[in-house]
Amino acid sequence: MDRGGWPEVLAPGRVGRREVLRGLALGGAVLGGGLMAAGGAGLLGARRAQAESAEFRSPLIFHSPRLEPFADELPMLPTITGSALTLAARVGSHSFHRDLPAVPSLGYNDMDHLGPTIEAHTGQPLHLTFRNELGAHPLGRDMDHTLHGVDHSYMTHPPTSFHLHGGATPPESDGNAMQMSRPGQAHDHHFPNAQQSSQLWYHDHAMGITRLNVYAGLAGMYLLRDQYDTGLPGNPLGLPAGEFEMPLVLQEKIFTDSGAPSARSTPVVPEGSWEGGAVGDVGLVNGKVWPRLAVARGLYRFRLINAASFSVWTLYLSNHMRFWVIGNDGGLLDAPVAVDRLRVAPAERYDILVDFSGLAPGESVELRNDEEPPFQAAILGEVAMPVFCRFIAGAGSGFTGPIPQSLRGGPWQPPALPPADTPTVFRDVTVSQPYALWIPPAIMTLNNLHYTDPDIEMPRQGTVEQWNIINITPDPHPIHLHLIMFRILGRHPLRTLEYQAAHPQPAVGTKWTPSAENFLGGPLIPPQPWESGWKDTVLVPGGSVTRIIVYFPTADELGFDPDAVFSSQPSQPGNIAPAHHEDMHGGDQQGGDLQGGDLQGYVWHCHLLDHEDHDMMLRFRTIV
């Protein structure tokens, strides 16, 4: 393939690398980040060279049919607003590309794929009624019925759980993975919106099938406005608005010859079996494969989100022109950060400005990705998914305002970002994926625990904590905490082999969080400038210790009790009983009854959705 021209659909598909070719992958897992730094680069380079030959198509991974890029126009996502809204999850019929037929897909309200952008205002609560009106699941045959009580009835009557990602939300409205609605049922959510202007998003969070529900389309943007960032022309910050501000929901998929998305990336993993991380070989923006957008020759504000199930991307513009990051998960930065490339993990949002005024009429530039796949995927033939969309300059000038010099701390601006708080509690947590040389597959774990294990984190309200997230795997993991925003302190490389040798990992089910302070491989690496400010998801590199500063607010500060007990049942139960969760052992005092009774607290998890489903998600409570 010629990376300077139109892409061909090559490679990708992350094979179930923990089940297939385990002997090859094991070396990368044991050596952690060190192997990637040493021998991994040469191998990845060789795989890229192979992939750039049109003849190379690895038989170990699925491949989409070859599709012409930039054949479809970029869809504009509709916006809804109000103090009371209803969203219904439905099965639709969606064509992802001009040359693909319409196939079953999931969406919200009248959308066949994805959902409308919800626009709310800080300080103005939103009452949202979420209804499950789904029929047979388009990916029902890929459900793994060994995971967390996933019932066979889910194939035809799939449950859902609506989560506002990044929201400071009462626990009964947060979209707990065990608080599921079946078709015909509904749940009322109260979103206080008592937080600063930010770029949130919503998506499904149903236990054991989150990856399938989101991959099938249950995701959308949620923009929280304020008196500074109004979203209107003439706003105090001087930012593009109206037609010059738009969400870009980025995804990856693999398509079958019939045009249907495939949740599996390899023929070796049987249908109906969980896969450790499936990625795509084609890029989508707002539900279309490799679309094009006609742009005016001026400034645009793109509200960008990595809504993929697995892949981390390094994004850049094909002519390598610079652009500006003005905000991330939790809102605006103090000032724009000029970049020519941006690394974005699943669930991360970035608010960027792109100036097309330097393009001649008719000239085009593409949004591309050159992030290489992790070692364990590269050995099976996976390469970087190269492109998302093309921007084509028109003759008009569009928005011609300047790049703002500052965004916070000045007149008619929100307050400047405060320095990170000083922690009084230090908490070590671990990310691991125990390996074996045999089937069944490895389990993804936090703290070496199953989701149902009772030994959960219980930080006190009103306390500032430093979480040291110790990742002994070779893969990057985006870690997300519900309820709160945090600040990134920095990252250390980890001497993974020595750490594991000094602290042998017990069988899964025994909490394992040994300190890594004596095994750091170098000084603290500060966060990138665009990672400053408030975050709810942090990319934790393989073989590293990532430090974040977390404040757990009190009930008085939040306006609700974050430790309240709430029912696992939908608030509008309808006439369909929830499925039984035969293997959901629980009922422990700390976490609540996991067998259809009461729940308590929130969750933290890896936002690689394949990992979240099995079993890289744990509960936590904020206690008094």
The DSSP H or E segment spanning 255 is strand 245-255
> How do residues 183-222 score in pLDDT, each as one tens digit?
999 999 999 999 999 999 999 999 999 999 999 999 999 9
Q: How confident is the model at residue 591 (pLDDT cuts 50, 70, 90)?
A: very low
Residue 313 has pLDDT above 80, yes or no: yes
Q: Where are the alpha helices (DSSP H) in 144-259?
A: 210-216
Query: How much of the chain is in helix, strand and coil states, percent to nearest 5?
Result: 10, 35, 55
- CATH superfamily for domain 425-620: Cupredoxins -  blue copper proteins (2.60.40.420)
* pLDDT at position 576: 54
Query: How far are the Cα atoms of 10, 15, 64, 130, 383 from residue 58, in angstroms, in the given order?
Result: 9, 11, 12, 42, 10
Count of residues making up the chain: 624
- Alpha-carbon torsion, ordered 158, 620, 555, 187, to 10 deg: 10
Tokens in use for 86?
């209803």
Could you tell me which residues come within 8 angstroms of residue 613 by beta carbon, excluding any fewer than 6 positions away?
Answer: 147, 148, 207, 208, 209, 210, 211, 274
Which element (helix H / strand E) includes 555?
helix 555-558
Dist CA 603 CA 618 (whole Å): 6
| Of 34-48, 67-81, 239-253, 567-581, the least confident | 34-48
- Which of the residue ranges 189-193, 383-387, 449-453, 548-552 would you say has the lowest mean pLDDT? 383-387
Both structure tokens of 390 = 């093309």
Kindly state the greatest CA–CA separation across the chain: 65
Pairing of strands 598-600, 565-567: antiparallel
Of 143, 191, 186, which Cα lies nearest the Cα of 161? 186
**Whole-prediction pTM:** 0.90
Q: How far apart are CA 74 and CA 285, in angstroms?
A: 7
Amino acid 374: pLDDT: 75
Helix, coil or strand: residue 601: coil
Best CA proximity match to 236, nearest among 247, 246, 252, 225: 225
Evaluate if residue 345 carries a pLDDT over 50. yes
Burial 533-546 (b: 16+ CB within 10 A, else e): bbbbbbbbbbbbbb
Question: pLDDT above 70 covers what percent of the chain?
Answer: 86
pLDDT at res. 373: 79
Grouping H, G, I as helix, E, B as strand and the rest as coil, residue 490 is strand
Q: What are phi and psi of 121, to 5 degrees?
A: -125, 135
Instruction: Say if residue 364's pLDDT is above 90.
Output: yes
Answer for the pair 109, 117: CB distance below 8 angstroms, yes or no: no
Lowest mean pLDDT among 34-38, 84-88, 266-270: 34-38
Please state, in angstroms and rounded to a whole number, the distance separating the CA atoms of residues 503 and 501: 6
Per-domain residue ranges of the chain:
425-620
| pLDDT classification of 575: cutoffs 50, 70, 90 | low
